[in-house]
């Protein structure tokens, strides 16, 4: 299995764990409720059955969402860019190989 994938999964779980603890402390909710709130907020499902009840929680929720959305966009672009570079590197190698073959045939 790819080490980057494993690291990404661990970062994801640590991210949820971190925000679960933050919400548990800020909102005085149980770990289960805080975990539920973290996951529903992160996945943008948000059923509105739990909302941040004070200003500091709202601020942290905004930071949480903005950071997560930015991270998802960033990593999506990294994946797309990496794939594109690999694709064009293969194409360039094929083109160079074909040019060498043509030179040898002349």
Domain spans, the chain = 3-105
- The predicted-structure confidence for 38-82, as pLDDT tens digits, reads as follows 888 887 776 777 788 889 888 988 888 888 888 888 878 877 887
pTM over 0.85: no
Non-local CB neighbours of 31 within 8 Å, separated by 6+ positions:
20, 21, 24
| pLDDT tens-digit map of 5-35 | 788 788 888 988 998 999 999 999 999 999 9
- Report pLDDT for 1: 61
Determine the pLDDT at residue 106: 62
- What class is the 3-105 domain? mainly alpha
Q: 38 and 15 in contact (C-beta within 8 Å)?
A: no
């Amino acid at each position: 299995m790819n080490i980057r994938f494993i690291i990404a999964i661990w970062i994801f779980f640590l991210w949820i764990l971190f925000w679960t603890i933050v919400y548990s402390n800020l909102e005085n909710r149980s770990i289960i409720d805080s975990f539920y709130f973290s996951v529903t907020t992160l996945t943008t499902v948000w059923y509105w059955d739990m909302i941040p009840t004070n200003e500091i929680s709202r601020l942290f929720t905004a930071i949480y969402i903005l950071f997560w959305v930015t991270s998802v966009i960033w990593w999506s672009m990294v994946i797309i860019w990496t794939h594109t570079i690999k694709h064009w590197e293969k194409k360039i190698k094929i083109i160079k190989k074909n040019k060498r073959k043509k030179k040898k045939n002349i």
